[in-house]
A and B are shown apart, each in its own frame.
Chain A
Amino acid sequence: MIRRTPKRDYVPFYGPIAMIVFLVVWEVGLRIAEIPELYLPRPTVIAQNLYLLFTEGGILQDLGVTLYRIFGGFFLAAFVGIVLGILMGTSRKLYAICDIFIAVLYPIPKISLVPLLIIWFGSGDLFQIVLAALGCFFPVVINTILGVRQCDQGLILAARDLGASERQIKWKVVFPAAVPSIFSGLKLALGIAIIMVVAAEMLTAKYGLGARLQLSGQILETGQVFAILLLLAVLGGLLTKGQERIDRMIGRWRT
């Protein structure tokens, strides 16, 4: 006879249920208390605003612009950061040269570079991408160096024994060995890219979610502000989830 697993509370539903309760209390509470929408709109109003943003507000275009800037900066930084990180991790000379620059530039809050970057690149896409890339670059390069340093010496010897050139060792041993560490750097970087782009859009841009958010606030469309915040939350969540999935796929061997 097959034994059934004993019945247990099905925990995964706890979160969604709590959220529904929260939304209902929010909705009903505001109706009863008669708080004006200007301060705090009800969830149904926010949903309505979100719907209108998509159907009439052209928010999809802004979403596209923002994603373009986020990923532009992210991939630019990922590419430069990983390559430089591997070279720095494997060459002590290059490490000595670059380390001092990193040590000086890393602590600068990247958002404080906005005025300078605008002078250099204007306030368009290029500026946004460079700003995001600057924010992303450091966690990527630092984590890559760390991963490279942790590479098991035995693996390098084994590869050399099998006839690997120094170049092959770099790209077929050291790089894959560093991938888990690189991925944790990329995870941090993506979060930073989102923050950078939205913040910069709020400061200067005409298009993009940040710009729309800023505009909605200025014209006191609180419902729209909430709708865009909701959109940003979903966006951030989806990007993180997607990244986790890729991470798991690539890290199959770690089981």
Chain B
Amino acid sequence: MQLYEVLADQISHQWTSKNRPPTLAIDNVSCAFPAGKVTAIVGPSGCGKSTLLLILRGLIESTQGAIRFRYTNGSGAIVDGAPARMATVWQSFNLLPWRTVLDNVAFGLELASVSKEERYAKAHEAIKAVELGGFEGHFPSQLSGGMRQRVGLARGLVMSPDILLLDEPFGALDAQTRVYMQEQLAGLVETAGKTVILVTHSIEEAVFLSDHVIVMTARPGRVAATRDIPLPRPRAIEVQNDPRFSALFTEIYDVLRDEVVKSMMG
């Protein structure tokens, strides 16, 4: 499997909508998301993290700048090339409310004309992986927020994407489930080898899960700081007791706090 690197080159994005003044969401962001690694983006609410993910995924076009993908080919040269598969896990879940859990998770495979048998088999597996076995026949409206979020996660994972984009994927989970799902995700990225871009507002989550953290400023989002997370893998939740963990936490928190204060001042 190819590992893809993502490069954001001087990305700016301005939202324009009919009855609102235009908003500059992100301003001249350049950053790299290394191949096969987990990169976390943290920043105050409204600083353009979700917007940046949309641009990275190619679902909207940035008003300025470009996104590039690179991978190392068979002869060891780094070449440009877009990945075959990317999947997004959405902050607001975006499940199709008229589809059951099973059919939501199988949706992407259905779109790719995968046979019913195969896509249901894969969907069942992904549903088990997010601990939702037994809820296959439920509709999203019958699930809690945390369960919906896990359906969203399963729907992305079932596509076995080269690049996985996660927008606050654990925000709606209760504390216990969150730790459990974070450990699951840590295990997944350690074994599966994909490039993961994780947006989160939790510094603990960023440090625990990622190899690399990008801190964004208050809106318009710029890169305030970047930090490598050299904690050993595989990681279990106990790594939070490691003194290096708290040192990294404090370091990132100091940058972020200033930005959060700025964003609250308006």
Contacts and interface: CB of A to CB of B under 8 A. Distances in A.
Contact size range, A = 20 to 34
Given A155-B94, A177-B98, A255-B141, 20 more contacts: A155-B96, A157-B59, A157-B90, A157-B94, A158-B96, A159-B96, A159-B107, A161-B57, A161-B86, A161-B88, A162-B108, A163-B108, A163-B159, A172-B111, A252-B139, A253-B97, A253-B98, A253-B139, A253-B140, A255-B139
B111 A168 contact: yes
Nearest to B104: A158
A205 B54 CA distance: 61
Contacts of A157: 54, 59, 90, 94
Contact of A154 (B92, B110, B159): B92
Interface of A: 152, 154-155, 157-165, 168, 172-173, 176-177, 179, 252-255
Contacts of B88: 158, 161
Interface of B: 54, 57, 59, 85-88, 90, 92, 94-99, 107-108, 110-112, 139-142, 155, 159
A-side interface mostly = helix
A161 B90 CA distance: 10
Nearest to B85: A163
A164 B111 CA distance: 6
A153 B110 CA distance: 20
A72 B4 CA distance: 57
Nearest to A157: B59
B102 to A, nearest CB: 13
Given A172-B111, A255-B142, A162 B96 contact: no
Contacts of A253: 97-99, 139-141
A2 B71 CA distance: 69
